[in-house]
Structures are given as C-alpha cells and as structure tokens.
Amino acid sequence: NTGYEGWLRFSKLTNANLEAEYRTFFKRLVMSEESEILGTAKEELVKGIQAILDTSLECSDQAGQASNIILATQNTKIDLVTTLVGDHSSQLNEEGYILKTDKETHSVLVYGKTDKGVLYGVFHLLRLVQTEVSLVDIEIVENPKNQLRMLNHWDNMDGSIERGYAGKSIFFEDNRFVEDFSRIKDYARLLASIGINGTTINNVNVHEVETNLITEEFLPDVARVADIFRAYGIKLFLSVNYASTIQLGGLGTADPLDENVRHWWKEKAKEIYSYIPDFGGVVVKADSEHRPGPFTYGRNHADGSNMLAEALEPFDGIVLWRCFVYNCLQDWRDRSIDRARAAYDHFKPLDGQFKDNVLLQIKNGPMDFQVREGVSPLFGAMPSTNQILEFQITQEYTGQQRHLCYLIPQWKEILDFETYAKGEGSPVKSVVDGSMYEYKYSGITAVVNVGNDMNWTGHTLAQANLYGYGRLIWNPDLSTEEITNEWVKATFGVDPQVVETVTEMLLKSWSIYEKYTSPLGVGWMVNPNHHYGPNVDGYEYDRWGTYHFADLQGIGVDRTVATGTGYTGQYFPENTSFYESIETCPDELLLFFHHVPYTHQLKSGVSVIQHIYNTHFEGVEEAEELKNRWLALEGKVDDVRFRHVLARQEEQAEHSKEWRDIINTYFYRKSGIADELNRTIY
C-alpha cells in the first residue's frame, strides 16, 4: 500500500454486523437517466461497493421490490423517488443532494437536482460505508456553502512545481503534456470526492512556454485534460500571461485600453472556447514579483482585469485576478513601507470598478502564507467586488511536507475571523460564500500540495490537508474533529488506537510547528529562496519587505496607526482598536502588530524572551512525541505507509532541534538575557 488510493481506499469491511446490514441495501443500482457525470457516479458506486463488500451491484433502470440504490435527478420519473424526495427538493441548489433511506423497501436514494449533486451524493454514501455508519435511518440534505471550490496548481511545463514537495507535475514533462493521462483521471476522482469543482493546471508565474498553453499547439491537450475533469464535475481554468498579446500576438503592447489588445483577447477567447466549451476562465498574477501587468501602461488593476473579463463574458468565463501585489524591491531601510498594507492599498480604492465576472483572489493573510499572520483586511472591505479567498495547501512555509503540519485548524480560524464588516456576525466565511454582499461569483481556492509521488503529497499525512480543504470549503461549519475523523478512518481504517493516535498527531501538529519556528506571529526567519529551515536574518536586510526588526532591545513590526505603519487602520474599527492596543492584541500575533522589548510580559504571564525559549524547547519535545506516537502504531498500519511516515517524523524531530538551537541562540546573544530554566543555549 503506497498511499496512492488516498482516502478512496475502500478496503474490505471487517465489521460483520454492519456488513450484514449493508448487504440488505446494496443489491440493485437503479438509474433511469444518462449523462456523463451520472455515468461517473454509477461507475464509482459500483467500484466502491465491489471493493468494500465484495458484491457486484446489479444495474437496472427500474426499481425492484426491495434493496435499491437509486441514483436520480429532478428529471427522473420513478414513483419511489418522488415519494422519498417529498418537498426536500426545493432546499437544493445546483450541486446539492439528498441521501435518504426508505425503511419499507430497504432502499437508499441518492438524489441531486443535477447530475453533479448525484456524484457528490454517491461519494458521501461511500464515505458513510467506509467509515462504518449505519444506513438504516439516514436523511441528509446537503448543499455546498461555497460556489467556487477551486485548486491552483503551480506546475511548470518542464515538469517542475513551484513550491511543490511531492515530486513532479502530474500534467507536464519536458515542456509538453505527459503521455499517459490515466493518473489525471485518478486525481479527478480524489478531487470530486471532496467536492472540488474547478482547477488551474499551470503556475501563476506563467513563463514563456506556458504562455503557449492558449495556442493551437497545446489547446488540443488542454481540452483532453478538461474532458477528464468534466466527467467529474470539475471545470478547467488556466493561469495566463498578462502580456500574451506581446509574446503571442506580436502587438508590442499589453495596454488594457488599447483596441488591438482588447480585440486580440476577444479572438483568443473564442478560440479557447472552440476547444473547451465550458472553460472556466483565467487566473492572473499581474504586476507582482516581476510579472507584467497594467501598471506598465499607467493603467490600474480594474482596467487590466476588465479587459480580460470582457473577452470571456460571452462564454460565461471568469477572471480570477490575484491581489498579491506589492513592491518586492523595496528599500529595507525604510520603515514606513509595509508589505502587509499593499493589497488593501492597491485594491480597496477600486471597489465597484470591476466587471461582474471578475473576482479578486486574496491570500488569507496580508503577507504570505506564514504559520501565523493577521487575516487580510480586504475581506469584507469591498462590498461591490466579487472576492475569492486563497489558501496554501502546499506547505511552503509550514514544513514542506517533511514536517507534519495539519492546516485545517488554521483555515477554520481564518474563515471564522470576525471582520465586523457589517457589525458583529460578519465572519470571513460569509464574505467568501457570497452571502454578505450577494456576490455574483465567490468562493475559495488554494495552492495544492500534489505531485507525482506515489502518495500524491510527499508526506502521506499531508493528504489530510487536501482532503480537509475540500471538506471545509464545502461546508466551513464542519468541525475540525469531524473532518479529521472522516479522513483518518477512510485512509487508515477504524481501529480505535489508530484513529485516536493519528487524529491527535494531526490536531497538535500546527501548534507544534509554530512553537519551534518563528514566534508570536512575526513570521519568516527561513532560508531565502527555498524557504526550508531556520535563518533568522535570512530576509532581514533584503528587499522583499519581510522583516522582524530584532535588535538588542526588542523585536516585532510596529503596524499601529499611532506609531507604526498604520496597517491596523485597514481593519474595521473594532479590529483596529483590538490590534492597535498592546493590551488587547493577542499573544500569538503580538510581534506581527507590535515592536516590544524582550522583557515585555505576555498575557500568558511570561516575558517575550522566555516565551521564545520555552516554546522552542517544548516544540522539539513535542516533535519527538509525534514520532513516538507514530512508532506505537507499528503493526497496525501497513508496512510501506508506516515506514514512510516514520522517516518523515524522524526528520521532523531532528530538524526541529536545528530550529530550536538557531532561534534560541540568536535571541540569547541579541538580548543577553538568560533562560530562567537554565537549559542549554549555545
């Protein structure tokens, strides 16, 4: 077992009672309609049940007296369906579904308003069986809370993956598409099973080769990939080069207001849609980290994105325009410039100027996917502009899939973050699910952690981040515990010791990682470029805008309105005063918002310097415990996966010591303040 099946492992059921129960339901699969997605749903159900129960479902277009699994949509004309659905159907949106047992006939209905709903319902049903839930009495009505549930690949056509920690691209090699697409289908299954409905396949940094993806050279291949995803209800998107008109069109300009530029994109859109009629749209990184953009022509981001949106509009395509725009060549000596301010400063003034089919794609924090940072103040701040939130599943700054860092708890905190945009009760999740301002388009996207390693994600336990991401954005109100429990059972089986151990490892891992890395929300302190491992001053005297300002007296970034960069002023007033005041600012973000002396007393009762020492010692001990917890599962987890995870946990335990020693030594030497507990600091 290599981990390739992920959470769709469908191992043979061992619980005899449940097996007997399931057998009373799973005899006949009834489906009276046809569509490509329904075909997928049927195939998945048949395959899954075959594996779990070792039973072949008999297929029919009519319900029998008993033991039917019925797959149906609003177009199905079967009496039993109409009776079972009752008035529930009005509660469903386009992707929602009903799962319902009929006790009399021992039947289970999987009903979607559309075929997509049926597919999601089938995966839900399989999840229930896999995690050993009785079907005797189920009545479930489910709708995804977010409209766009996307992933972004940062894959390059040479096969490398920017910030990829799980091997090479599953789409590209040697500057073309891979030969064998079967892995892409296996991937689509995994994504559909957690409700993902859109993905890009290439890096946001679109280099010369990838610019050609929207030409006749590659569009036939792009279309083949789109075909595979379509059968699983997933729309294909591409990242495009803002300056395509120059490279491909020979126009010499990418000025968004230039008639020729606009015309070129309109023609290009027609061409793309002639290959892929349901093409989702484009993701654009413009005027960011040396990428071209409208600034070159004295235009703003509304001009740039609207130009593309106009071209895609006739086809219902959308533009996901990234807000990761900041000066990456700033003067590090100038304390008044704050990278954290940049996205808000650039985009907030443009609210209301974007076309209907533009969404602003905003990273969860104002810096860059750190283990801890504030939540972007842009959420909720643009009532008239569609927004989509961007998370990072790939663990660029959180251990690169060599360390365990389960991110669901972090993402939940962000989604639950109170913006006060419309007073109390205005969490980020209500901004991005579109309900707060009735956005036409909205949702959540994330940089994915997948590559061609056998287990997809490098660290097998990092699969939990992908799984959890899909489940969480389907319904941000699910608890971390529910999501985790599902994943562990589906992936490793239901043995209570395994479930308890893996769950505990996952749930503690974010806090452990945070403890031995950068303290109190200050972030960074990583090796430049690859970002793995400790380097306190790695970026301190550089031009990227990522500083901690540690000197002999203190540390932290003063982002207050009163004496600092004024960043706190970008939040709604309640949050401005909450973070502005050192009295109320929470410990975990203290150094993100304030510059304080090492002797400053935290709310936890210890000084900043003592906190740094304590957490770094604790983090290492806990990383060691993670390894030991896993070790206790020897014999309970199949050998390949057992040894694989063990190797990663060993590396983490070892590497955490390097973090501890470098960080503690640095601050001991800077501050000259001894550890109260007299532990070894070099």
CB of 379 to ligand BDP, least distance (A): 17
Under the phi-then-psi rule, with left for phi > 0, alpha for psi from -120 to 50, and beta for the rest, what region is 313?
alpha
Q: Residue of minimal CB distance from ligand BDP? A: 368
538 near ligand BDP (CB under 6 A): no
Among 102, 396, 453, 622, binds ligand BDP (CB under 6 A): 396
Min. distance of Cβ 529 from ligand BDP in angstroms?
9
Instruction: Please tell me whether residue 101 adopts helix, strand or coil conformation.
Output: strand
Q: By three-state DSSP, how is residue 444 classified? A: strand
Interaction residues for ligand BDP, span 178-207 (CB under 6 A): 204-205
For the CB of residue 447, give the shortest distance to ligand BDP in the complex, in Å. Answer: 7
CA-to-CA distance for 78 and 260, rounded, in angstroms?
Answer: 55
396 is catalytic: yes
Catalytic pick among 289, 331, 634, 639: 289
Whose Cβ is closer to ligand BDP: residue 139's or residue 289's?
289
Is 368 a residue of the active site?
yes
Rounded to 5, what percent of the chain is helix, strand, coil? 40, 15, 45
Of the candidate residues 237, 369, 474, 659, the single one contacting ligand BDP (CB under 6 A)? 369
For 644, other C-beta atoms within 10 Å of its C-beta total: 21
- Name the residue among 230, 231, 218 with its Cα closest to residue 177: 218
Identify whether the C-beta of residue 108 lies closer than 8 Å to the C-beta of residue 100.
yes
Q: What is 571-630 written as a DSSP string?
A: S-HHHHHHHHSTTTS-GGGHHHH--EETTPBPTTSSBHHHHHHHHHHHHHHHHHHHHHHH
Selected catalytic residue, list 155, 338, 368, 373: 368
Q: Cα(367)–Cα(374) distance, rounded to whole angstroms?
A: 8
Cβ 396 to ligand BDP shortest distance, Å: 6
CB closer to ligand BDP out of 532 and 549: 532
Closest CA to 51 of 21, 95, 12, 19: 12
Site for ligand BDP in 202-261 (CB under 6 A): 204-205
388: contact with ligand BDP by CB under 6 A: no
CA separation (Å) from 253 to 257, 297, 679?
Answer: 10, 9, 62
Please tell me the distance from the alpha carbon of residue 290 to that of residue 151, in angstroms, as a whole number: 23
Instruction: Name which position in 285, 515, 594, 644 contacts ligand BDP (CB under 6 A).
Output: 285
Which residue(s) pair with 421 in the sheet? 423
Shortest Å, Cβ 203 to ligand BDP: 7
**Residue 19 vs 542, nearer CB to ligand BDP:** 542
Nearest 5 degrees, angle CA 228-CA 231-CA 236? 55
Question: Which lies closer to ligand BDP via its Cβ, residue 244 or residue 614?
Answer: 244
For residues 242 and 294, what is the distance between their CA atoms, to the nearest angstrom? 8
For ligand BDP, the closer of residues 365 and 519 by Cβ is 365
For residue 362, the minimal CB distance to ligand BDP (Å) is 11
Instruction: Give the span between the Cα atoms of 9 and 355, in whole angstroms.
Output: 44
93 forms part of the interface with ligand BDP (CB under 6 A): no
Q: Point out the catalytic residue in the list 142, 373, 396, 486.
A: 396
Length of the chain: 682
Residue from the set 9, 88, 163, 263 that interacts with ligand BDP by CB under 6 A: 163
**CA atoms of 411 and 392, how far apart (whole Å):** 10
Distance CA 474, CA 280 (A): 19
Q: Rounded to the nearest whole angstrom, what is the least distance from the CB of residue 680 to ligand BDP in the complex?
A: 34
- List the beta bridge partners of residue 196: none
| Contact pick of 19, 158, 162, 588 for ligand BDP (by CB under 6 A) | 162
Radius of gyration of the chain from its Cα atoms, rounded to whole angstroms? 26
CB of 608 vs ligand BDP, minimal distance in Å: 27
Q: Is 368 in the site for ligand BDP (CB under 6 A)?
A: yes
Q: Is 481 helix (H, G, I), strand (E, B) or coil?
A: helix
Residue 324 binding ligand BDP, by CB under 6 A: yes
* Identity of the residue, 372 or 627, whose beta carbon is nearer to ligand BDP in the bound complex: 372
Smaller CB distance to ligand BDP: residue 44 or 390? 390
Told to judge if 289 belongs to the known catalytic residues of this protein, a careful annotator would answer: yes
How many chain residues are in contact with ligand BDP, going by CB under 6 A?
10
Enzyme catalytic residues: 289, 368, 396
What residue ranges bind ligand BDP (CB under 6 A)?
Answer: 162-163, 204-205, 285, 289, 324, 368-369, 396
